[in-house]
Structure 1
């Protein structure tokens, strides 16, 4: 039995990786990469079998953001030539939900730029979610920025299942990425979400000039927060942002990062998210031996892979898309 299979077995028995073991995952020799992924797959299979959750983003508000996040094309300091528009209408959000349903998506993600939602923004989301639930039965994840307790309660009452607010990086590295809000602001929003009874979704962006120790630290922080869903983004450096030209990643390291998040957060949904196509490239399928969730379609201001290619990839892997109740019959 290999070292990685032994470690996976210990994780399944409740073991938490030491710092040395976590670093060994990120430093795994490329020649041993398939063995590392085999170990990660044993954990993934134990909790999720061969099912894959599909997610789709609706960029409900683009640009016009006062924050200064260094990775983001929508920030106040970005000069990237992106489309900018105010919050969508309920009808637009419903059209997106219909598209998601037809693409076999289980979780529809309503994402908006900005520091936090206005009362009108929350009104639109609440009205849309109520109809989405009635018509399509999709899980709904909202990502609207820093949230107030009363806003979280309203979203929960409307049927929002999950709220995304990424930590993005370690607490130590956070000031290098943005100064317009703090790491603790992000943690506080996740606590507000949890207090309202909404499932917390929080993840990371890898490739922002952080150290391997930063990656380990944020993986542990997400475990401590008890995030149910962990999107793992790989930086897609956009011209016009402070991180323009940053190119620190290769597909093999990205796979090691996904394995690390599975070993540290064995029971959680690990989602391969933004930057999947440009960073994993031809090794995309291997990522699903550690992760159990992906986005289909486009991201916020960057294009994704054709959804038909994603469906074909899953079919070729012999994996099964996790559908919402009634979706299989409706798609026949």
Structure 2
């Protein structure tokens, strides 16, 4: 397979067939650099050498009734995590200030649970109004299954984006969780879109899915027209259903990122949770396919030191992309 030729065809509008998609995931490791060059050809066409930075604020930890097998906050997890109720507006604003000072363009307010209460949405809405005024950040909310009136309120307050990951393929979904359906997740993304929130939805790779499942989730996110696609790599936390699962290696993770770029050429592809332990020393290569990363800690697991991420971007010769108003304020 000539990966550069295939990349040019994708830029011209080609949709990968199943054979071509599988060829990416099954590519010999000796083809890895040409494959990543092909992915970079697409990435550079649409995004140049700019990188979007994201930071998570864990607004509520634990106490979740859902039984997701990957999550340390789920009802079936015995992981020893910190648990606390929904934080205050002031705490959210303090996180936004930190994001602004660290040149993070997108501030992500994330909360555990099946879905937000009216009070939760009110706290987020009030905080976002001040975040927009003071810091000009792009704000993404991730609060669980969403109702129409909640989506409308979040949009009116200034929330730019709503995240709700599909996580895996429709046929593999019931292995991961049974307390909500795949269709519930799709519906939440559609509600966000209906009310003018930019849809953010992604996947978790390494949950005992097949390569066909990986292709299916990449295609499903294309069909959903998600603007931003976080690609997580399983960090198998002790005390969760998937404890001890270790199916990934750095080279396969890079092939997955390339696949998502070839199938979703125009979209923001973000390397998300688990990149440090699964990509390891090959993390920089991931940005030849992806154009966005999380900086700092995740929900209940630690990321790498922020200065390492900034050093990595500088060494790659990439440029941090700021939110428009944020850039004017800095």
Please classify the TM superposition score into its range, dividing by the shorter chain length: over 0.9
User: Hey, what does 1:268 align to over in structure 2?
Assistant: 267
User: Hey, what does 1:222 align to over in structure 2?
Assistant: 221
CA distance in 2, matches of 1:81, 1:138: 33
User: Where do 5+ consecutive residues of structure 2 fail to align?
Assistant: none
CA distance in 2, matches of 1:243, 1:326: 41
Residue by residue over 1:143-167, the C-alpha shift from the partner in whole angstroms, topping out at 9 and shown as x without a partner, is: 0000000000000000000000000
User: Hey, what does 2:78 align to over in structure 1?
Assistant: 79
CA distance in 1, matches of 2:6, 2:109: 37
User: Hey, what does 2:296 align to over in structure 1?
Assistant: 297
Structure 1 position 296, deviation (Å): 0.1
Structure 1 position 323, deviation (Å): 1.2
SS of residue in 1 equivalent to 2:199: strand
Contact 2:137 2:325 in 1 (8 A): no
Please tell me whether residue 70 in structure 1 is matched to residue 69 in structure 2: yes
Pairs within 5 Å for 1:183-194: 183-194=182-193
CA distance in 1, matches of 2:302, 2:238: 15
SS of residue in 1 equivalent to 2:324: coil
CA distance in 1, matches of 2:36, 2:51: 16
User: Hey, what does 1:178 align to over in structure 2?
Assistant: 177
Structure 1 position 58, deviation (Å): 0.1
Residue by residue over 1:195-249, the C-alpha shift from the partner in whole angstroms, topping out at 9 and shown as x without a partner, is: 0010000000000000000000000000000000000000000000000000000
Structure 1 position 324, deviation (Å): 2.2
Structure 1 position 325, deviation (Å): 3.1
Structure 1 position 326, deviation (Å): 5.5
TM-score, normalized by length of structure 2?
0.99
User: Hey, what does 1:325 align to over in structure 2?
Assistant: 324
CA distance in 2, matches of 1:325, 1:23: 38
User: Hey, what does 2:49 align to over in structure 1?
Assistant: 50
CA distance in 2, matches of 1:328, 1:158: 21
User: Hey, what does 1:253 align to over in structure 2?
Assistant: 252
Paired residue total: 330
Aligned CA RMSD, in angstroms, stands at 0.9
